Each structure stands twice: as C-alpha cells, then as structure tokens.
Amino acid sequence: MIATSMNQHAMKPASTVLDDDRVREVSLARRLMSRPEFGALAGAVLVFMIFGLSAGGSGMFSAEGIVNWSTVAAYLGVLAVGAALLMIAGEFDLSVGSMIGFGGMLLAIPALYWGWPIWLSALFAFGVALSLGWLNGWLVVRTGLPSFIVTLAFFFILRGLSLAVSVIFTGKTILSTNGDLVLRDMIANDPLVSLLFHGYTLTWLFDALAHAGLLAARDDGTALAIGLPKVVLWWLALTGVGAFVLSRTRVGNWIQAVGGDANAAKNVGIPVARVKIGLFMLMAFCSTVFAILQVADAGSAAADRGLQKEFEAIIAAVIGGCLLTGGYGSVVGAAFGALIFGMVQIGIGYTSIDNNWYRVFLGLMLLIAVIFNNYVRKRFALGKR
C-alpha cells in the first residue's frame, strides 16, 4: 500500500507538485505577513543592519552601548504595552505624559514634605493614578465621547495639577533636596521599592563576564556596564504578560472584539465597559511605573516630566502593527517599535548624523508603518492575495 501511494505520488504531473509547493510558500508568506508585528520586526532588523554598518565600531553594540539604548527602549516599551492594548480596543490615552509628571509628584511630595515612608508614597501614587485611569475610562464609556477628547482634557488637567500642587505644597516645580541625595537614598534604602524600581540587576553576571575578559572592565576589575537596569525587567515582564493575555486568554479575545465592533461585542455578552475601563487603568499603571522608575533613577521629580510620551507610545504601537481603527495589533510588535525608538535615538549619537534627523526618521517610520499595516490588513487579514 505504501509503495502504491508512492507510485501514485510519483505519477503526479510535475506541474501539480510545483503548484503544491507554491501553495505552501504562499501560505507561509501569508501567515508571516498577516502577523501584526511582522512590519516592526522587519524594521528592527533593518535598523540593526544600518547601525551595524554605520556605527558597529563605535561601541554602540558593546555591553555599555546595548545597556544605553535598551534602557531608552525599555522606558518607552513600558508605556507601549498599555498603549497597544488600549489601541487594539479602539481607544487612545493622550494623558500619559501628564500622568508621568503627576505620578512623580505623587511619589515625591508625601515622601519629602509629609514624612511618609517611600513605600506608602508609592502605593499612594499608584492608587491615585489607577483612580484617574478609572475616571478616564468611565467618562469615555458613560458619555460616549471619543477618548481623544476625554484624555486630551485630562492631559491639561493633570499637567496643571502637577504644577499647581507642587507650588502649593513645596513652592517649586522640581522636587529634590541636597543634590538629589535625599529622595534617591529614601528609595535605595527601602527594601521593597528598591527591589522593584531602583538600580540594576544581574550585576554579578556582568562582573563575572568582565573577569573572564568577555566584557570591558574598570580598574578594579568590575564590569564597565554595571548591570541590567530594572526598567528593562519591567519592560520584558509587562510585554510578556500583555502578549500572553492578548493571544491566550478570553480577556484578549474580548479586547480584540471590542476594538473590532463594540456594539457587536456587547450583543454577544462581552463586558465592553469593564474591558475599556480596565485598559485605561492599565495605561495609568504603566505611566506610574514609568514615573517611579524615572524618579528612582534621577533622584528627583519634576512637574514637566513626560512631555510628548503619549505620542511616542502611540507611534511605537502603530509601528508595532496596531491599527488606528482598533481591533488589530500586537504587544510584541509594540515592543519592537519601542526597540526601534531606543536604537535610533541613541544610535544617531554613535554616528556622524545630525541628531535633528531623529524626529524625521520617526515620522517616516510612522507613515510607512501605517501604510504597511493597512496593506496587510486589507490584502492578507481579509483573505486577499
């Protein structure tokens, strides 16, 4: 029987076998290109190649260089996770940048001026931020207004509150004392906050590699690259959880359904209001994580922190495959979009290219990503070749 089957296969015309191969090739191409993160992955590879050729010998891909641009990418990546999930659900949050500045003030003022322990100040910051995220989502759902309008209003409200509250309680808009040492020491000396937000990890591994001659070392033998910043761990953790939820859970199906057609999703029993409000709260959580990590790194809080971060997060999500109309996108793609940001922003400094071209590049990447995502959505996701 096996021989008969083999004979029958051998008797097939050559054109039939070639057609089968072409079908398999087309199917593979369709599967790859229909993935929302495909464009961002291709873009990241292209950027790696460009800087590998133009800045490969300048230290950009040394351990210190990798830590530098991965840190920039990680900060944006933390925001991109929330922005991507919110965009897939068909909504935007333009209050992200203002929430970052406000969250830093919520951490610093109680700790420096009210005598609170830093862990309690951090809980206070998260509690207020999540409440504001809930309010954002509730207003969008309750009023039916576009999230663009509601969150734009909060963009101004929170920025104004950051300035006004800091002046009322402290008389200034940048909070640090004794050369930033007090706030930084409070964070470093608190076991929980320090573990989650301050400093580096895997320092021992970097030092071991330096002793082995695999990494550049200081005079005392320790690695020139101190370790992996905590923000990178937050980025990887949030991206992993977000990708798992979106692709492997019922909540992920709800998010995509709500973004595709909220009325249809509501008619089949999906809790549209809870999904949207939860995602606005997640965005507020990501913004506060960014704020506390930034305060822990700088040792100070400033009311004007987070400028334009809402737009950068949206751009990273769009480069990562999220459609502006909702219902389609990828958290992993948004992570690649943030990686492209970090590499370009830091990588230009390793080349002879004028830094003013950075924004030009980001604008072009956004335009190309939108065109490519729409093409993929129409030609492949809808079953066209």
DSSP string, 346-381: HHGGGSSS-TTHHHHHHHHHHHHHHHHHHHHIIIII
What sign for the dihedral angle of Cα 282, 283, 288, 293? positive
Residues 55-73 have pLDDT tens digits of: 766 788 888 889 999 999 9
For 190-232, the pLDDT digits (tens) are 999 999 999 899 999 999 998 888 888 888 888 888 899 999 9
* 47 closest CA partner among 322, 352, 364, 344: 344
Whole-number pLDDT of residue 72: 94
What is the per-residue pLDDT for 312?
92
Q: Which of the listed ranges 23-27, 264-268, 322-326, 369-373 does the model predict with the highest average pLDDT?
A: 264-268
How many Cβ atoms sit within 10 Å of the Cβ of residue 158? 26
Q: Is the pLDDT of residue 9 over 70?
A: no
Band (179; pLDDT cuts 50, 70, 90): very low
Q: 114 lies in a domain?
A: yes
State the pLDDT confidence band at 23, using cuts at 50, 70 and 90: very low
Residues 6+ positions from 300 with CB-CB distance below 8 Å: 108, 174, 175, 176, 180, 183
Beta bridge partners of 58: none
- Judge contact between 91 and 314, C-beta under 8 A: no
Whether residue 70 lies inside any domain: the answer is: yes
What would the two tokens of residue 322 be? 């999220």
Res 127 pLDDT > 70: yes
Give the DSSP per-residue string, 95-146: THHHHHHHHHHHHHHHHHHS---HHHHHHHHHHHHHHHHHHHHHHHHHH---
Q: Tell me if 219 sits within 8 A of 58, measured CB to CB.
A: no
Please report, for the domain that includes residue 114, its CATH number.
1.10.3470
Residue 142's pLDDT band (cuts 50, 70, 90)? very high
If one compares 87 and 347, the residue with the highest pLDDT of the two is 87
Both tokens of 78, joined, read: 């933390």
Q: Examine the pLDDT at 26 and tell me if it is beyond 60.
A: no
Confidence of residue 39 (pLDDT cuts 50, 70, 90): confident
Residue 377 lies in a domain: yes
301: which strand partners? 175
Mean pLDDT of all residues in 142-165: 94
Domain total for the chain? 1
Model pLDDT, residue 365: 77
pLDDT tens digits for range 48-58? 888 888 776 67
**Residue 24 in domain:** no
Give percent of the chain with pLDDT exceeding 90: 53
Phi/psi of residue 174, nearest 5 degrees: -120, 120
Within a domain: 17: no
Residue 133 forms part of a structural domain: yes
Residue type, 262: A
What's the chain's average pLDDT?
86
Note whether residue 205 is domain-resident.
Answer: yes
Please, which pLDDT band fits residue 13 given cuts at 50, 70 and 90? low
- Which structural domain range is residue 242 located in? 40-381
- Name the one residue in this structure whose structure tokens are 């335009």: 367
Contacts 24+ apart (CB under 8 A), 137-141: 137/276, 137/277, 137/278, 137/279, 137/280, 137/281, 138/277, 140/91, 140/276, 140/280, 141/272, 141/273, 141/276, 141/277
User: What is the β-pairing status of strands 228-229 and 174-175?
Assistant: unpaired
Can you give the pLDDT at residue 18? 45
Q: Is residue 248 part of a domain?
A: yes
Is pLDDT of 6 > 50? no
What confidence category does residue 160 fall into, taking pLDDT thresholds of 50, 70 and 90?
very high
Q: Which two tokens stand for residue 85?
A: 């999930």
Nearest partner of 31 among 314, 347, 385, judged by Cα: 385
**CA–CA dist 64, 77 (Å, integer):** 19
